[in-house]
Structure 1
């Protein structure tokens, strides 16, 4: 994942990573963090500022996984089950707590970026989510009303006749604007976080994967190609890039491949026509496409479980061309200059999780909405490790369940993706009948 082709490097263009010094591994460390993405670096930063010696082990380069190639969208990251699904499973009180946690995560994220002075192109311009069917619009309106009444979240339903104020497309039956959403440059955010962590005393070791973990009493021995490290605490922040060596995380998440493309540079007039207010964008559906203006405002980026993520670039371009022109016919002649893919981590209960499992500390399973959550969870996980107040979250009582039949989870995810695609197509046919 570290050796990207030139057409994959949209977030690498004009962004120079600071040098990570090559240092020998320490024989001992207070805390070993596995994974130098958002979660691992955020956890390491807070632990180091509390006086802990923290060593980060990264299998590739910093941010080689999702943290450098995601959509860069931020917001409350509400639960995948939605209000109705959560209420059916957990009841109204727990639903309110879980949904409120999303807002608390967003408030923390914004204040952290501001207080730390992180240069990451944070732009809180809101997000428009289009309704692909009339039923989707009605369901969204009900949820928007609940969010406004119970969480005081500013969101506005936009009828089809007025959606051109938000998006240069006729394909939707209206939609909703979430005013508390926005976007960042994901790689800039990651590199700024890495710099802060190093300044706090965290040592980051790139191309240094964990190969085995053994506990001897209250200390762990971590085997790596550069030799062993002994640690009092272990944090596994590998999320969708967990493997057999990080089994505690690996057995709890389903790794799903997704893809993204970026257009060639577009004119300022075209960019304004596509998103008059520069918002983040998305749509309803089980298999939905997210899209947004690039952080520099010169391109459009589209992503989702479309085509064959990770397959040939030309195959991926064709799959996205069909989806993109469904929404924006005016882009039918536009080329995609960048194509890339990566993993996201889903969980059996559709919830993110954090806490201690199998003797190690875990945070992950963000279900495709990890930018905001990961920094918040990193802070919360550090407080749990340190025994500090303010460590509790609404997700603590949910545990972190393992994935049933884990060896078959990849096949199951692919079959479920096809089934979801069938259901989405059926709903569209019924809506237009």
Structure 2
């Protein structure tokens, strides 16, 4: 997939040695991103023979092109939406799982000595309206009371201490958030997996799955292989060749831009404390300093991701200048796009469906969750203790009218953007 993304600029391409396929393996993993490499690593360390396939290269999908935001990734429905659907006990379990995933992620990076520029510097989320500020304060207080989440609210008159903008009506600082270098993380995972004995086969799509009494026969351009168990970790890059995942997620295209290198004093003024940043809204923009602190990245469902670059540039310019008018004359050096996977219930999922193991549907918040789910899925396959998650009993429903889902998502994005614009006009 062609890419003009800033994460690839200084990190050399890593391609594993391509050995001949074995005729049989214990576990076949489809997808060499965060989830697939995580589950492969844990399975291999437990003594299983594991082969990982990817239609492109390592991390060719979202795992090397995402925003690199690390945090609890609670839930898209928020506490009120979860309470209405599942009740208090289940809601607390689902939200607590986000903190457990973050704890695991931090410990894993430290224990494995992974160089992925992890910086837990916190995140400031700006409130577009006074009503957003009040609802954010209520949600944060609930999370603090029930889960111990550290935060503090920042009034509009104080927000210059957090962001070089007067656009927001104040906001919240989440102290358990931070950022990583996505490409460094996925390549580090690949190296760990290879060292554990995992065979990674790149540029090799799995074109067919035929289940039988002893496992599954996988068809690939490089030959067929029989696996006792199959893990599908393709997430938003699923298609008809991995139907168990494909029929359960909606692929939504998002985009990102990086500015040209900015003077140190400008970088410091945009995010005085080096935090990652975001905003309220249905169609929101996320933004952050690059891990090396030399540029700013902005991303979201803005313009027509993946379309004409000039059109995309204009759309991002308007969104960026809305928040930072001082960047009006700053050029974007990189523009790229990619897919994220949403689900019908706005939850990630993990488990066994249609004869294969699945983990995915992260709804745009999968950096920490994917490594955690990979570990949990490996434990499930190995029938080890501590394999359960609060998501295990959530039905992973198929997407109705799947062939039209991407178009419907596009229409909904326009409708939500209209509602956001209307809200901004309110006094």
Same fold (TM over 0.5): yes
1:66-85 to 2 correspondences below 5 Å: 66-85=62-81
- Offset at 1:17? 3.0
Once the two structures are TM-superposed, the CA of residue 16 in structure 1 deviates from its matched residue by 1.3
Structure 1 residue 118, shift from structure 2 partner: 0.4
SS, match of residue 245 in structure 1 = coil
**CA distance, structure 2, for counterparts of residue 18 and residue 159 of structure 1:** 46
Which deviates further from its counterpart, 209-218 or 359-368? 209-218
The residue aligned with 1:51 is 47
State the Cα deviation string for residues 308-341 of structure 1 (Å, max 9, x = none).
0000111111100000000000100000000000
SS in 2 for 1:398: coil
Please tell me whether the aligned partners of residues 69 and 179 of structure 2 are also in contact (alpha carbons under 8 angstroms). Answer: yes
Secondary structure of residue in 1 paired with 2:329: coil
- SS of equivalent residue, structure 1 residue 424: helix
SS at match of 1:339: strand
Q: Deviations over 1:98-152 (max 9, x none)?
A: 1100000000000000000001000000000000011100000000100111111
Does residue 1:324 correspond to 2:316, yes or no?
Answer: no
Contact 2:27 2:228 in 1 (8 A): yes
Moved more, 14-23 or 245-254: 14-23
- In the other structure, the counterpart of 1:255 is 251
Deviations 1:202-233 (A, max 9, x none): 00000010001001113100000111010000
Residue in 2 aligned with 1:401? Answer: 397
Q: How does 1:222-371 map to 2 (within 5 A)?
A: 222-371=218-367
Shift of 1:397: 1.1
Structure 1 position 253, deviation (Å):
0.2
CA–CA distance in 2 between the matches of 1:127 and 1:184? 13
TM-score, normalised relative to structure 1: 0.98
Shift of 1:282: 0.2
Gaps of 5+ in 1: none
What is the SS of the residue equivalent to 2:7? Answer: coil
- Give CA-to-partner distance per residue, 1:324-372, whole Å, 9 cap, x none: 0000001000000000000000000000000000010000000000000
Indicate if the aligned counterparts of 2:15 and 2:58 stay in contact, CA closer than 8 A: no
Are 1:181 and 2:177 matched, yes or no? yes
Aligned residues of 2:15 and 2:57 also touching (Cα < 8 A): no
Q: Normalising by structure 2, what TM-score?
A: 0.99
Q: Specify which of 212, 216, 235 is matched with residue 216 of structure 1.
A: 212
**Partner SS state of residue 200, structure 2:** strand
The SS at the match of 1:298 is coil
What is the aligned partner in structure 1 of residue 29 from structure 2?
33
CA separation in 1, counterparts of 2:114 and 2:383?
27
Contact kept in structure 1, 2:26 and 2:49, CA below 8 Å: yes
Partner of 1:356, secondary structure, is strand
Would you say how many aligned residue pairs link Structure 1 and Structure 2?
427
Secondary structure of the residue that 2:52 maps to in structure 1? Answer: strand
Equivalence for 1:411: 407
1:9 Cα offset (Å): 2.9
What runs of 5+ residues in structure 2 fail to find an aligned partner? none
- Runs (4 or more) in structure 1 with deviation over 6 Å come to none
